[in-house]
């Protein structure tokens, strides 16, 4: 049974600290080229297919700007 996941990043609250990227076991997350209104490159799912919804990124996010979804397929 495989797990598929997805994250939603509150791009306005994200400060682009990259701690989520360092903690993502499947290298799903990257920083966007665009910036938010504060000038931070926010995190986003660069490869959505590889996300397993493990919640590691959301657990270590200092600004709690990640919501995680997970389904069994």
Partner 1 sequence: MDVKDIIKPENRVYAKTPVLTSTTMHYCPGCSHGTVHKLIAEVIEEMGIQDKTIGVSPVGCAVFAYNYLDIDWQQAAHGRAPAVATATKRLHPEKYVFTYQGDGDLASIGTAEIMHACNRGENIVVIFINNAIYGMTGGQMAPTTLIGMKTATSPYGRTVELHGNPLRITELLAQLDGTCYVTRQSVNTAVAARKTKKAIRKAFENSALKKGTSFVEVVSTCNSGWKLSPVKANEWMVENMFVKYPIGDIKDR
Q: Contact residues for partner 1 (CB under 8 A)?
A: 4-6, 8, 12-13, 15-19, 21-23, 40, 45, 48, 53-71, 73
Cβ 43 vs Cβ 30: under 8 Å: yes
Tokens standing for residue 59: 């657990």
Provide the minimum distance between the beta carbon of 32 and partner 1 in the complex, in angstroms, as a whole number: 15
- Alpha-carbon distances, residue 6 vs 11, 44, 57, 65, 71 (angstroms): 15, 10, 11, 14, 9
Provide the minimum distance between the beta carbon of 6 and partner 1 in the complex, in angstroms, as a whole number: 4
Provide the minimum distance between the beta carbon of 48 and partner 1 in the complex, in angstroms, as a whole number: 5
């Amino acid at each position: 049974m495989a797990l598929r996941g997805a994250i939603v990043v509150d791009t306005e609250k994200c400060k682009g600290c990259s701690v989520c990227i360092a903690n993502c076991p499947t290298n799903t997350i990257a920083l966007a080229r665009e910036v938010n209104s504060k000038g931070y490159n926010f995190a986003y799912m660069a490869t959505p297919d590889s996300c397993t919804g493990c919640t590691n990124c959301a657990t270590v996010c200092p600004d709690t700007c990640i919501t995680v979804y997970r389904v069994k397929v």
